[in-house]
Amino acid sequence: MSKPFVSSIPLSEFELWHKIEGKRSLISFALEITARCNNNCSHCCVNLPARDKGAEDRELSFEEIQEICDEVVSLGAFWCLLTGGEPLLREDFFDIYIYLKKKGLLISVFTNAALITNEHVKLFKKYPPRDIEVSVYGATQATYENGTRTPGSFNAFMRGLELLLKSGVKVRLKAMALRSNIHEFREIARFCRSKTKDYFRFDPFLHLRYDSDPTRNEEIRSQRLTPEEIGELERSDEERFRALKRECGTLNMQVFSNETDNRLFRCGAGYHEFVLSYDGLFRLCSSLWHPDCVYNLRKGSLSDAWKNFVPNVLETASQNEEIVHNCRACPLISLCMWCPALAHLETGRMDSHVEYFCEVAHARVKQLKNLT
């Protein structure tokens, strides 16, 4: 599963400040309709086995999704992301998709494409999605299946992708930069850009597990690139590096440096979108799983979550001097991966320093300074 509606290049400080001071208005939402997946990627932060009956039993029913959709449209949202896990594993995917479309929503779908059939193509041609984003884990079978740990997944991916491309549906390709595919990442980028010439994005930042599984977290850490490798990879990709330079190239940030406000959330989380897990847990963003920041919609209402719960979460403050007066005042803040959600996944606290993130920021600075 990839992160919804978020560029892998951090927002500039001005854009962050604008989002924080701007009025909250619901624009989009992500429905993680299942946590199950047909692949078993070692880097994934959410996937559960495709035949996990317990996970399947906890999934929101079609009727629950209908009710949520009705309410979210009434609150003004017009764009929905269907994601997972692998959303096509849901036997009622067609019903969910059509219902959302008939409510007038723009729909994006995140998929690995391996389960795409002619019936899916007919659906997407009759009710076109805004786009379908497909993850690419390797340009060769060996590398791809080393990442997915699923025999036959490469051929299934290629078959599904070709069905989508031939249909004329708008397809976007993306990749995770992993220890298992870094040796052929140039080939992955070439493959993606040759298939969809207008769009390709990659992400070198692997989040730890949302369920905090220690064994799976070690697998994720083993797939992470070093900060130096991340800097070199971004520098080697001209499109990516232009975006990095444009959005984050100003290293002397002043907006947060002199303020005393110790609120943790300095991003767009909870301002224009929310994320709903397969079992009904409302969050401000896909990565925010701290128990104080999760609302169970099965025990409340979407209106209450959006209008009352979210503002309370956004007021969360910290007394950690290292975060308030050091990290938040750091001139490299726009180059850093740090946020309360990721800090919680890494350390169990939303206001902890994460050394790996700091090292990535300094590696990026080194690459930017090499321009002069």
What's residue 237's pLDDT?
A: 83
According to the model, what pLDDT value does residue 111 have? 98
Quick one: pLDDT at residue 248? 62
Provide the pLDDT for residue 351: 93
Instruction: Show me where the domains of the chain are located.
Output: 12-111+204-258+268-372
Do 295 and 306 contact (CB within 8 A), yes or no? no
Burial of 243 (0-12, 13-18, 19+ CB in 10 A): middle
Give yes or no for a cis peptide into 249 (omega within 30° of 0).
no
Q: Kindly report, residue by residue over 145-182, the tens digit of the pLDDT.
A: 999 999 999 999 999 999 999 999 999 999 999 999 99
Query: Which tens digits make up the pLDDT trace of 295-337?
Result: 999 999 999 999 999 999 999 998 888 887 788 778 888 788 8
pLDDT at residue 199, rounded to an integer:
77
The SS3 of residue 295 is strand
Residue 169, classed as helix, strand or coil, is coil
Write down the pLDDT at residue 369. 80
Q: Starting at the edge strand that comes first in sequence, how are the strands of the sheet with 79-83 ordered? A: 200-203, 171-176, 131-136, 106-111, 79-83, 28-32, 273-276, 281-283, 295-296
Q: Of 109, 116, 81, 1, whose CA–CA distance to 47 is shortest?
A: 1
Cα–Cα distance between 128 and 108 in angstroms, integer? 10
* pLDDT per 10-residue tile (average), the chain, 372 residues: 39 42 84 98 96 97 97 96 97 98 97 98 97 97 97 98 96 96 96 87 93 96 96 86 67 45 86 96 97 97 96 92 80 85 95 93 86 54
